[in-house]
């Protein structure tokens, strides 16, 4: 499970003899994260080791090998999330899963249908009582505890961007999406959170 921390960054060398600048997918919002206000907090997470796993779950031999490499069972129902000692596995479709922090990545790498995608997504943790209504406003769906309980994940669009939203606990959500659109999604989340009753507009970055 990724933990809230300073934004993962790398350096880009601008030219011979020139100093390097830190790069982050959150662009101008990097200095604003983590951002907190009444009823909400938005923080960047370290990108976990991530793998796209594709295969036939009714193939008992393949499934057993993959689950051993993951250290967690494959969820077989839409919206399902399973966990192991460290791994988390998201259902993406009847024959597709997103696996985080697998127990045996080297073993997984040797398997057909497994592709590492660790650098493909940003990860944000959004928490507090304003989070569910803010996500509902952005995505146009219900994030109540009954319809979207802890341990549930779904794919949807925020501002036209395809993301994965997981409810980790009552008021704790994780949002993941294409790293190239991290700043766009973070800005939309900050605005939606600030728009909730008691929200603080000062936490919303101006773009």
List residues bridging with 22 in a β-sheet: 11
Q: Which helix (H) or strand (E) holds 162?
A: strand 161-169
Q: What pTM does this model have?
A: 0.82
Model confidence pLDDT, tens digit, residues 86-142: 899 999 999 999 999 999 999 999 999 999 999 999 999 999 999 999 999 999 999
Could you tell me the two tokens for 70?
């993951």
Tell me how far apart the alpha carbons of residues 167 and 143 are, in angstroms, rounded to a whole number.
9
Say if residues 203 and 35 touch (Cβ distance below 8 Å). Answer: yes
Average pLDDT over residues 170-188: 97
What is residue 5's predicted lDDT score, i.e. its pLDDT? 39
Could you tell me the two tokens for 15?
């030219």
pLDDT confidence band for 187 (50 / 70 / 90): very high
29 pLDDT exceeds 50? yes
18 pLDDT exceeds 60? no
């Amino acid at each position: 499970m990724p933990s809230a921390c300073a934004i993962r960054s790398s350096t880009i060398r601008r030219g011979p003899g020139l100093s390097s600048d830190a790069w982050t997918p959150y662009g101008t919002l990097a200095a604003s994260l983590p951002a907190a206000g009444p009823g909400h907090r938005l923080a960047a997470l370290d990108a976990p080791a991530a793998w796209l796993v594709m295969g036939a779950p009714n193939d008992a031999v393949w499934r057993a090998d993959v689950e051993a490499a993951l250290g967690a069972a494959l969820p077989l129902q839409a919206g399902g999330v399973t966990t192991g000692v460290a791994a988390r596995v998201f259902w993406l479709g009847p024959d597709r899963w997103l696996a985080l922090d697998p127990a045996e990545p080297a073993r997984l790498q040797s398997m057909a249908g497994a592709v590492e995608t660790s650098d493909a997504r940003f990860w944000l943790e959004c928490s507090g009582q304003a989070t569910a209504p803010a996500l509902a406003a952005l995505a146009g769906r219900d994030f109540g505890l009954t319809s979207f309980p802890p341990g549930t994940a779904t794919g949807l669009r925020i501002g036209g961007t395809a993301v994965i939203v997981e409810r980790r606990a009552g008021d704790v959500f994780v949002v993941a999406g294409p790293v190239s659109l991290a700043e766009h999604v973070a800005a939309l989340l900050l605005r939606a959170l600030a728009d909730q009753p008691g929200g603080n507009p000062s936490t919303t970055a101006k773009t």
